Structure 1
């Protein structure tokens, strides 16, 4: 029986990877086509995503999903296999339906022209398949939220006054969700089909060529010889990986299997090692030039070029990662963590021989920043990967490697495409019923027009919504429900959407459901709950970054560059003070009052007032100087005593 289940699982896995490869080829072909309607590309995109999902992800998904490093060929029982094959066939039939009815669907008037029986059957099947695929890929949390909004669409007339609406009939619901570009085929899946897929495919080609491992090796070579080098390598490597990954959990599983054991060997506890990796990997979603899928949706929602989103993200991303490096450096000094042992260092010469693999990223950044169409830029960058891989026998991509990259790209894309489709159901209901407007009025009313109270409420709401949801889905819901309230209170649109985006990302490390922290804990062999809270403690400065750029939009490159430079400088001092106060060590172990003053100074430095920031800077400076005078006389060896000074002189911790 076990052998039979394994055979069935292997067969579906091969089928799924084959469909994924074909999907990649079809998507690339759209780049060279002209004149197709959105209701052709998006149904084709979604149908392939659904088919790949049902082939690769079992009815009862394993604890670790495909992009989380789980078994790529899980066992499938006969019932699971039969239902999955039926779902794959239904997905194909839905794609055929849309292709055959392309002209009619493009010309019909939504909510006016009557539905045919085929429209109703195809629409209902599509909704059911999307919900089930979301359950398999995004988990039960996403499924429950979608079902609640579907129920809300039908039960509107019987709800209390604050939530009541006229309700949707079955036909109106199907029309909205399956036959227009306001439901399932709305902005989220449109962005997945026209932008995100191509960048995921680019990342797959770069990984197969060896670019992913190069990032880790470069990070180890650059930081490994310094104190706490393993944690600094994890931070730097995850930042580089984040440029092409855009998924916190995938980043953890891609880099953590190398960096977490390395951190443990150099003296970090399993709990801290996992926390550093989770925090660094989560930042990859805000790391230019690719960022997470939600960044493309921000550009679409605001109607601005993606290059503007990349530019806006530079200072916040820099502060985020510098804050992480501050934290790991302070922890390394406090715990006296040593550099990476020589035997674990990657020879610099070996890394230099593969530096040509960075050329595709250079080209992609150039193409994006110069306004090249994103689909074309990503596909051209894939071509650059293929060309530069030929420069060395170790990186050369032959036909087998190309096929593997095509299949990998398609299989990774389901983790964005399916949640985007499910989020489209929610957005359609919110817009059609008007609940978004009422929610905005409620949020503004409860905050009594106080921006700070509203920001705190929105940040908590985004984190709660993001528990167990992919970042993209969490952002879409937050942008729909929360961003309008911030805009109504005077926050500019870009800052409002970035605020929601950041906290959707940070939900990946915030307990009680912190997917990135839990993935790292599984590698480190540490308690998932303890890793989650430790990650929050180390990442506390990151939680202040969104408040800083709402208060000072210059940090998003909006306004005078001199204002941006000043804000950047004060924010860096602020996050350093916060990290020192939070960890309990600046130049020696802090007294309790010193930690409290450092945390207060951090908030003052980030506050958008020159005088308040100056006061915070003075407090930080006085504590820094005072600890410099007393570092050798208090708290013993751990806090800067003679042994520590000797180590510094020997270069062991510098």
Structure 2
């Protein structure tokens, strides 16, 4: 895990300091559960407790260099940094009334400025340790833009002095303690903790067994099971890379043993784990922030996101199916599959997931849905020996919940710097204007340039931070056109997420390739082929919002849109893999690709032409395959 996942490069031997991280991590989790049940404090105080405890834990658990993770104990300077992080955020709580009332009118003191500066530096260094450099570099560039905007042509602004900028970043509820950290300190933490419970109680393994039982006997069943299981677990994890490594340690060897090539096994896992971030109801925890940004209720967003997510996974399923047919890989035997009667006795393990979905669709807040699901998972874990936890295990569970949330908390706070700068300086509309000017007002080119911007901005970022950055910096370009706001935000969300499998910086594919022993770039290219739906569907739902249940979204129109999109995905997947009814030549690949694009194009006449092309290639392939079968039978009979 530590080799391929930045979030897993934490100290493994804390020595006597282990008790402190255990107490502090458990206290943070208990605080989150308590405020979820009794109600959160005002945003600045809730966020300060949340971020202060998290940064303190980061410095205690994550060394300055990943090579030091095996060294016993904690360096003295990390203890000082941990204490400083705790103090900087406690300072907000201690001086809350003065900071929000007097300081805004009479100005911030020198001590305020020192604490704000220290808080920003401590946050950026902690984020570098636990998340990586990409988001830190973007945040530093945002701060430099805020400081020296008056020297920048075209997209410049009046500029801020450092004391003003620093105090605005650290003491307001619109930057570091803005929407991302507010959502993290209420909803996201709970859902991440829910994911930890699923893993620690082995309920997550039950998802793997169910997926294998349902799909394992079919052509390429091991890959299809990996796709289904990783999709289920990935929506909770909040990180494409972490899910690829966690699930891939089980699924990738299984696919290789079945006969899939190493690079394809890595690509299947990476594309499915990345797709988990797009899957309702949790969507890698970004759905909560999306609800705040768009003003659309969360329980509506998870319904809106269903069709695009199903299209994505259908595309990945079809890709694995065509590859299995191409390589002659059959499904598992009945003896190799998990026993149905044993799985039936464990169906109650599905109850936590059912409760989350049911409560959300019933209109309950995400907080209550997560609390009830956590409680349900905890209770049913005691029904079986293999899922039951000891008292020590429960305490470690609380600490693990905090450790798992650290990357997301740090990323959300740092993304707040970026979002705050964009809002304060008016950078978003300026970037949008630049994109529109570059595209000369052509809507398709605006979408294309926005896609490129999202992929670049999304490289190496966790899901929540990824969405915050793309929504604030890239979305305004599309919002300038007559496009539903949810379609715009889903567009930038999708392309920010697929950065994890898009070469050259395809971190999820690299992680999968490391486990599979495959060429990383080859795994990345293959992952793009499998996840090709994610590069096409956003264009479709921006041009045809009925796939997001917007506009004239009656049953007939939605049904036609979904059917043509599914057929288009089948055609495009066959072209990408090089197999349909039988192996396809290059001319057939091009024709299938063209037919698939016509099928997903939001125009009935063009879609009908695409259907004809698709059907024509299918007929040619079927006839050729029948002739080949007849020829083989004659040769055998002779």
2:49, 2:196 → 1: CA distance? 21
1:438, 1:153 → 2: CA distance? 14
Identify the match of residue 438 of structure 2 among 446, 462, 475: 446
1:532, 1:34 → 2: CA distance? 44
Counterpart position of 1:75: 70
Write out aligned runs for 1:150-299 (5 A). Answer: 150-159=143-152, 161-299=153-291
1:580 aligns with 2:574: yes
1:232, 1:601 → 2: CA distance? 25
Write out aligned runs for 1:468-483 (5 A). Answer: 468-483=460-475
Q: Is the 8 A contact 2:89 2:119 kept in 1?
A: no
2:13, 2:625 → 1: CA distance? 65
1:301 aligns with 2:310: no
Q: Is the 8 A contact 1:37 1:106 kept in 2?
A: no
Task: Extract unaligned runs of 5+ from structure 2.
Answer: 1-9
Q: 1:144 to 1:244 in 2, by over 3 A?
A: closer
1:8, 1:412 → 2: CA distance? 17
Q: 1:390 to 1:6 in 2, by over 3 A?
A: closer
Q: Normalising by structure 1, what TM-score?
A: 0.91
Q: 1:84 to 1:343 in 2, by over 3 A?
A: farther
Q: Is the 8 A contact 1:205 1:402 kept in 2?
A: no
Q: Is the 8 A contact 2:494 2:534 kept in 1?
A: no
Q: 1:591 to 1:208 in 2, by over 3 A?
A: same
- The offset of 1:374, in angstroms, is 1.6
SS at match of 2:305: helix
Counterpart position of 2:44: 39
Write out aligned runs for 1:332-351 (5 A). Answer: 332-340=324-332, 344-351=336-343
Counterpart position of 1:598: 592
- The offset of 1:262, in angstroms, is 0.6
Q: 1:108 to 1:87 in 2, by over 3 A?
A: same
Please, which moves more after superposition, 363-372 or 100-109?
100-109
Q: Normalising by structure 2, what TM-score?
A: 0.94
Write out aligned runs for 1:554-633 (5 A). Answer: 554-558=546-550, 559-633=553-627
Q: Is the 8 A contact 1:479 1:497 kept in 2?
A: yes
Q: Is the 8 A contact 2:568 2:600 kept in 1?
A: yes
2:15, 2:339 → 1: CA distance? 39
Please, which moves more after superposition, 540-549 or 319-328?
540-549
Aligned residues: 624
1:301, 1:549 → 2: CA distance? 19
1:398, 1:641 → 2: CA distance? 65
SS at match of 2:627: coil
Please, which moves more after superposition, 259-268 or 562-571?
562-571
Deviation track 1:194-227 (CA, whole Å, cap 9, x = no partner) reads 1111111111122222111111111111111111
Task: Extract unaligned runs of 5+ from structure 1.
Answer: 63-72, 647-654
CA RMSD of aligned residues (A): 2.2
1:27, 1:555 → 2: CA distance? 36
1:122 aligns with 2:115: yes
Counterpart position of 1:409: 401
SS at match of 2:584: coil
SS at match of 1:32: helix
Q: Is the 8 A contact 1:289 1:310 kept in 2?
A: yes
2:368, 2:56 → 1: CA distance? 26
Q: Is the 8 A contact 1:17 1:52 kept in 2?
A: no
Counterpart position of 1:20: 25
